[in-house]
Structure 1
Amino acid sequence: MTIHKGACFCGAVEIEVSGEPEGMGICHCRSCRSWSGGPVNAFSLWKPEAVTVTKGEENIATFAKTPMSERKFCKLCGGHIMADHPPLGLVDVFSATIPTLEHKPALHVNYSETVLPIRDGLPKFADFPAEFGGSGNIIAE
């Protein structure tokens, strides 16, 4: 089984993910842009049992702006680690947190909010796929 290791910015919190993610993509929503400090956020979705904090759990703080995302970060450096998505039953381990994972996005979500149009041939969902509670509407490149 493949294991990828990652850490927060200062290294006080370390994590491991095992196996393969349930999905990978790019989010364009305003919340993710604001949280990440970038024009997009690369995500990898994992089953909770595939994600383990191996060091520094006491240094993890949580911020929940909405019930959809419980964003986890290091209390010491502010480095972003992951976000629990309770309605989906999945954990988004930010792709930048696990540098050995090759990010292979399959879709874009919340593309109706994009500030950085990306023409890569991948499906661009206005919000989310229907199976994740979204409209399922796709925006043309």
Structure 2
Amino acid sequence: MESTIETGACFCGAIAAEMQGDPFWICFDHDDDCRRAIGSPLTIWIGYRPDQFRLTRGQPREFSKTRASSAASARNAAPRSPIATRD
């Protein structure tokens, strides 16, 4: 059986990645921090394990923000768009 390979890129095209296999979680989120980070009333997050993920272009910048729930969250962004969150 072949493993699924998904590809994706940020809106400006500076960052691209490939994800291999099935995601280990998918969630719909609408908390204040996620809505602000994405600029949308609803966010869909798709989670892959680190060994399933590979950057194929660019290097995102990382910054941390303490969420309203007091948990620290590391966010990754392309030059013009958010692309990932790591708790």
For 1:52 and 1:69, how far apart are their aligned partners in 2?
21
For 2:76 and 2:30, how far apart are their aligned partners in 1?
19
1:67-86 equivalences in 2 (<5 Å):
68-75=72-79, 78-85=80-87
- More helix as a share of residues: 1
TM-score, structure 2 as length reference: 0.84
Provide, for residues 70-127 of structure 1, a one-character-per-residue CA deviation record: whole Å limited to 9, x for no partner: 111112xx22221122xxxxxxxxxxxxxxxxxxxxxxxxxxxxxxxxxxxxxxxxxx
The corresponding residue for 2:61 is 61
Report the residue type matching 1:30 in the other structure: D
Percent sequence identity over matched residues?
Answer: 32
TM-score, structure 1 as length reference: 0.54
The corresponding residue for 1:39 is 41
Q: CA RMSD in A?
A: 1.2
Moved over 3 A (4+): none
Structure number with bigger Rg: 1
- More strand as a share of residues: 2
Q: Identify which of structures 1 and 2 has the higher relative contact order when contacts are C-alpha pairs closer than 8 Å and 6+ apart.
A: 2
Q: Which runs of 5+ in 1 are unaligned?
A: 86-141
For 2:54 and 2:84, how far apart are their aligned partners in 1?
11
